[in-house]
Structures are given as structure tokens and as C-alpha cells.
Structure 1
Amino acid sequence: MDRKRAWNILKPILKVGFTALALWLVYTKVDLAVLKRLWAEANGWYLVPAVVSFVICQVITSIRLLNFFRNIGLPISVKSNFRLFLLGMFYNLFLPGGIGGDGYKIIALKQRYAFTTHKEVFSAVFFDRLSGLWGLSWLLAVFSLSMPQVQQYSRWVLLAFVAGTIIYYWVLRRFFKKISQRFIITHLLAICAQSLQLVTVAFILAALGCTTSYWPYFAIFLLSSLASLFPFSIGGLGAREVAIVWGAATFGLDKDLAVSVSLSFYLITMAMALTAVPVLFRKERRTPAGKNGQAEQAAAT
């Protein structure tokens, strides 16, 4: 067995193991009876706007990704792009040992548009992710101004954000000029998407009966989103909850409520990812795709 094949077998085992360990650590820090009571007494009506805001968030995120694809000249339609986006969510959550959502997008688009290069497609997907991280960092910088626990560091946080943005934009313009097109619109979309995630969290907090300020919970949710970006667990499950528990302890918040919010957000994410299942079973069809005479394949396996 070669090294690559061995890693492909070991990778999902490690992810499942890390996820299980992280959830066990969370289990030791929270009261399951309280979690059960929170969900049993939750006001389900608030979950409707929570789901709606999450769906809008994902639509905006897919439009941001489409802008990056347009930057490199891919003639992909809005509908096909959204299918591809949903499939990426599905691969990330339910096929953790495979190529992953981003890897699937790169392979599918390279096969669909032979005229483009692997580097261009990879760059579009990578900088889409990076723009999302930039939007998350922007919100964290703003929150540092309003939270007493970290206000003493807010000047340094803002300075780091501004310096990082300047370096980020310079690298983008210097080495990835095509990708840097539509910079303002893609990064405004990133802020909108991250903000809508907080709207989703706000409705979940309301559903779970939170009567205290939402702002500290927003802050630890954003911090936990950073933890979920590292590909050590299944779709960020476990990693986000460990960060949530640590953040709740640091800021003196209700750990049970914070973990309930995180798990509820994960369930909403999982429900939307499952909508990609019909796409997986669609028959492939080909339609003309622009002047290059390439064929655009519908987003399916």
C-alpha cells in the first residue's frame, strides 16, 4: 500500500477520532439534562427565521464564490454554481475522508472547463475562503471595541486587522490580479454573509430563551468559527463546541446555552447540506458554455 492510499484511509479515521474526542471533552463540561431541557422548552417559531436567515447567508456566500469564478472567466450559471456550492457543503459534512467540498469544486470545474488551469480554479476557491475569513476578522475587530473584557486590546486588534488587510490586498493585486477583480463587492458580500450568521445565532438564542445580552455569545461564536476552519473534525463539529466552551468560561457565559446554540447551528447547516442529495442523483446533461465551445455540465456527480 503506497503512502497516499494509506493517508486516504487514515484521514477519515483521524477526523472521526478527533471529533469524538472533542465532543467527549464538551460532554464533560456541560450538563446534558440542561441541554435537553433547553431544547424541550425552545420556542420553535424563532427557528423559522433562523433557518431563513441561514439560507440567505448561504445564497450570498454562493454569489461571492460565483464572483471569484467570473474573475477567472468561468461561464458558469448562477443555478449551476449554487448546485456546486451545495455539493461542496455536502462533501464537507458527510464525506470527511474524501476530497472535501473545496477539492470537489476544483476537480469538477477543471473537468467541466478544460480551457482553465488548475491554478486558476484553486486560486478562486482559496480566495473565496480567505475573503470569508477576512469578513469574520472584520466582525471580530468591531466586537473588540464593544466588549469590556477585550477593549484594552482593541487598538492592537484593529491595527493587526488593518495591516493584515493591506498585506492581503497587495499580495492579491501583485500575484493574483485576475482574482483581485470585484474586490470590494466580494468582501462586502463576505461581511453580509458573516453578519447573517450572527442573525441566525440571534434567533437561536431567542428560541432557547436567552434573556441576557447576545453580544458576548456572538463574540464566542465568531471565535469558534475560526476553530471550525481547521480541517481536523467532521464539518467543524467538536472543534467549534470546544472553542465555545472555552469562550463561555472565559467570558463568564452559560456554557450549556452556548453549546446548545452551536449544536443547533450545526443541525441547521446539516439540514441544508442534505438538500444536495437530489443533485447527487441527477443525470448528467450538457449544454453549450460560451464562445470557447466548452460544455457546461450540471452540478452532479
Structure 2
Amino acid sequence: MVATDTNDPPPAAPAAPWRRPAALLLKLAFMAGALWLVARHLDLPALARTLRGARPGWLALAAGLFTASKLLSSVRLNRFFGVVGISLSEGYNLRLYWLGMFYNLFLPGGIGGDGYKVYLLGRQFPGRRALIFRALLLDRLSGMVALLVLLALLAAVPAAELQLAGAGGLGLALPPWWRAVPLGLLPLGVALSYGLGCWVFSEFRGAFGRTSWQALGVQGAQVLCAWALLAALGAAGGPVLPYLLVFLASSIAAVLPLTIGGLGARELTFLYGAKLFALSAPVAVSISVLFYVITALVSLVGAWVRVEQK
């Protein structure tokens, strides 16, 4: 008789063979539709001119900030692993993290980066597969909470440049009481997320403090990356806050499993965000395109990473 580990979840029923390719086709269709809408409502020659004028020095800074955010994100994930007894060296965890980035972006039809981590670490730490999956899920959720916190904080910043586009292309300034909305919702949302986290992920409670700050650092570095892209496009001297708000909203949209690597979802969010805040659509979409290119180039490093079973 073959012994089984009772700590692992029971094996799930095998999925229908058509589900994975069907999901991939749906993602491709949504991505193609989103990009078609962007191209249909955008001045493509103006977009090309904007991209050609990007300054290399600022692009290099943006790439460095994005890379720093991923390094910190890797440390945060390893913290979640550590509190439940999955001990990985930072170097090994970083290689596994970068390989996962490559899988998530370039191999969407096969096993994803998180799926590979669950498979590999599940073999190295028998009986911990459920904990590994929960650590990865909590890592994603903590990043989403950090995005929402930064979005609320930026939305509460008093800025004359933050206005909505009105009829006839005239700007409608947000009323002064608007700042009270995100400021009032912020502590409520943080308290609710902490309470739910302690209830649903009680075994990770010891990591909540440090990883919460790390999550804010990850998303903060990516906001600075967006600011550097604005500077690269020569638009940092104009209204900055609305672009950063739209960038955070696009990051939330990119997390949703609707497209591959967020391509299409980000661009669509930037296009309609530019219309909402009366921003330059070519500049807004250029930020999205450049951010995706940086993400792809940094993730491509994972193709040369080798992760041996420990």
C-alpha cells in the first residue's frame, strides 16, 4: 500500500482537457478586443511619435525601479514561506521567483509560474503543498491591498490638477469634500483586510506586519517607475497625479485573469482614464506600452535561470 500524506489536500478531479485551451483562447480574444478598441480610439501616429521621443536615461531608471520592486516582492514571498516552515535561501527563492515571472508572461498556455512553484516546492516539502498554495495566494492578495491603499492615498492628495473631463471637453474640478471619501474608507479597508487575513490565513499572522510594509514598498517602487516613464516622455512637468492614479487602476485591472500579462487591460484602462481626467491619450497609452516592455524584458531573464531541486 502506498502511504499518502494527510496534510496535503485530496487530489482534485482531473479537469476537462478542453478547459485550458478554451481559457487561453478567451484571454487572447479579450486581449485582441481590448487592443483593437485602443487602436480604434487612439491617434496611432501620435503614439508612435511619443514613443520615439522617450529619453533613454529615464527609461533605464524606470527599468531599475521595476527590477527593485520585483526583488523586494521576492523577499516578501520568502517571508510568507518562512513563517510556515518552508525554508528557502534568498538566492534560491529569487531564482525560483524570476523563473515564475518568465512562465507567467511567456508560457500562458502551459503551467504558470505559481503552478510551477507549487509543484516544485511541493516535492521538496512533502505535506506542505496546501501551505505553499496559500502563501502564494496571500502574496497576491497583499499586493492588491497595497495597490488599493496607495490608490486611496493618492486620490486624497489635494491637487488642482485632479479634475474630471466634463461636457465639451471642459474640466470639472473635484469638490473639496472628495478627499474625505478615500481617507474615510482607508482605515476601514485596512482593518477589514487585516481581520479577514487573520481569520482566513491565521498561520501567516506572524508575517503580516513586515510583509504589509514590503507590499507598499513594491507598489511604491512601481509608482515611481510610472513617474520615471512620464519623465522619459517629457510629461513630468505637467499633471502627474492623474497619470499615477490611472497607473494604479491599470495595475489592478492587469491582475485580473482576463489577458496575458495584463496586455490590453492596462492599455484600455489608460485610454479611458485619459478621457476621464482629460489627459493626453498618446502619453497615457505610451506609459502602458513602455511598462509592458520593461516587464517583458525583466521577466525574460528568467529564461536563463536554472532551479535545481534541493
- Give yes or no for TM over 0.5: yes
Amino acid at match of 1:84: L
- Percent of residue pairs identical: 37
Q: For 1:19-30, what aligned pairs fall within 5 Å after superposition?
A: 19-30=31-42
Matched, 1:161 2:186: yes
Aligned to 1:299: none
Deviations 1:271-296 (A, max 9, x none): 011001112xx4x645xxxxxxxxx2
Deviations 1:67-88 (A, max 9, x none): 1111111111111111111122
State which of 242, 258, 264 in structure 1 corresponds to 2:268. 242
Aligned to 1:201: 226
Measured in 1, the distance between the counterparts of 2:57 and 2:185 equals: 40
Aligned to 2:171: none
SS of corresponding position for 1:155: helix
Does the aligned pair in 2 maintain the 1:15–1:96 contact within 8 Å?
Answer: no
State which of 23, 28, 38 in structure 2 corresponds to 1:11. 23
Matched, 1:278 2:304: yes
Cα shift at 1:250: 0.4
Matched, 1:123 2:148: no
Cα shift at 1:258: 0.4
Aligned to 1:292: none
Deviations 1:30-80 (A, max 9, x none): 111111111222211111111111111110111111111111111111111
Measured in 2, the distance between the counterparts of 1:94 and 1:125 equals: 19
Q: Which runs of 5+ in 1 are unaligned?
A: 287-295, 297-301
| Cα 1:105–1:285 shift into 2, 3 Å | closer
Amino acid at match of 1:164: G
Matched, 1:49 2:61: yes
| Cα 1:112–1:3 shift into 2, 3 Å | closer
| Cα 1:228–1:5 shift into 2, 3 Å | same
Aligned to 2:256: 230
Q: For 1:2-151, what aligned pairs fall within 5 Å after superposition?
A: 4-116=16-128, 118-146=129-157, 147=159, 148-149=162-163
Aligned to 1:289: none
TM-score (norm 2): 0.86
Does the aligned pair in 2 maintain the 1:141–1:154 contact within 8 Å?
Answer: no
Q: Which runs of 5+ in 2 are unaligned?
A: 1-13, 164-173
Cα shift at 1:6: 0.6
SS of corresponding position for 1:75: coil
Compare 39-48 and 159-168 and name the one that shifted more: 159-168
Measured in 1, the distance between the counterparts of 2:279 and 2:292 equals: 20
